């Protein structure tokens, strides 16, 4: 009987080990599939671009763009432009997000704050940030503040609405249950409101980041001397398509990397959330 018992235990351990190995292998395959699909998609996109350029469309070929990127990198122009544009986007995005989150919480939690702030948020949300550029120039001059301000506005308006929507969508049953259990407002806010709103905040940050990059080119119309948007606009005057493509691709890559960083943060902070 003892021998049979030991054999049963060993068999159970082997079975669990095998199941764990198969589970880890399946998890690795699930993680690797999106990366493989991304690689295939990028390859097909480059092939289509090359085919369109070879067919006579007014597009530079990928080797021409790579060559121009190498030239701009070697003389330091591209790195300077990346540093200038990245600094403006990060400054505007961080400031916009830092203000949007508390304002969104106040709007969602307190009716008085909602009544006072929401009309202005909705008002400015219907005005494209690009339309604010003339006013920003008049009020702030032609230095860095107006460039950062229009990027800040683009990120703020997206993130504040997302945060507000997250607060008003909280299941009131959770809040009432916390009150019944004796939780005070501070405890409810930290343990119920913040966790439930975090997915909305992170989605708003991702969309706001896209709006910040989309506003960058127009923001660098304001007497900029360097930056990816400035370089593209300057290249447009000389019909320099390879330089324009270098700027477009660089903005796309930087935006994609920053979005993936936010996506990783979202997965870490909202691990409790069911995903497909």
If one compares 23 and 120, the residue with the highest pLDDT of the two is 120
Answer whether 0.85 is exceeded by the pTM.
no
Contact (CB, 8 A) for 60 and 248: no
Rounded to the nearest angstrom, the gap between the alpha carbon of residue 259 and the centroid of all alpha carbons in its chain is: 4
Residue 27, pLDDT score: 53
Residue 82, pLDDT score: 92
pLDDT confidence band for 191 (50 / 70 / 90):
confident
Q: Which of 9-23, 39-53, 83-97, 255-269 is predicted least confidently?
A: 9-23
* For residue 1, pLDDT beyond 50: no
């Amino acid at each position: 009987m003892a021998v049979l018992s030991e054999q049963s235990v060993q068999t159970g351990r082997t079975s669990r080990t095998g199941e764990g190995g198969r589970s880890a292998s399946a998890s690795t395959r699930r993680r690797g599939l999106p990366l493989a699909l991304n690689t295939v998609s990028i390859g097909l996109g480059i092939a289509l671009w090359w085919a369109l350029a070879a067919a006579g469309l007014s597009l530079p070929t990928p080797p021409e763009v790579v060559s121009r990127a190498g030239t701009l990198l070697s003389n330091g122009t591209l790195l300077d432009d990346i540093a200038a544009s990245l600094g403006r986007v990060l400054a505007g995005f961080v400031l916009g997000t830092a203000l949007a989150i508390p304002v969104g919480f106040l709007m969602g939690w307190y009716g008085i704050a909602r009544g006072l702030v929401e009309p202005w948020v909705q008002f400015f949300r219907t005005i494209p940030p690009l339309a604010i550029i003339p006013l920003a120039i008049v009020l702030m001059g032609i230095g860095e503040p107006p460039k950062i301000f229009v990027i800040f506005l683009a990120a703020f308006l997206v993130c504040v609405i997302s945060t507000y929507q997250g607060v008003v969508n909280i299941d009131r049953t959770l809040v009432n249950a916390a009150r019944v259990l004796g939780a005070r407002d501070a405890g409810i806010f930290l343990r119920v409101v913040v966790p439930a709103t975090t997915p909305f905040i992170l989605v708003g940050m991702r969309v706001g980041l896209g709006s910040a990059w989309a506003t960058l080119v127009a923001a660098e119309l304001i007497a900029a001397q360097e930056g990816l948007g400035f370089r593209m606009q300057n290249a447009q005057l000389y019909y320099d398509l390879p330089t324009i493509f270098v700027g477009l691709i660089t903005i796309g890559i930087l935006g994609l990397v920053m979005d993936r960083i936010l996506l990783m943060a979202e997965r870490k902070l909202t691990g409790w959330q069911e995903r497909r």
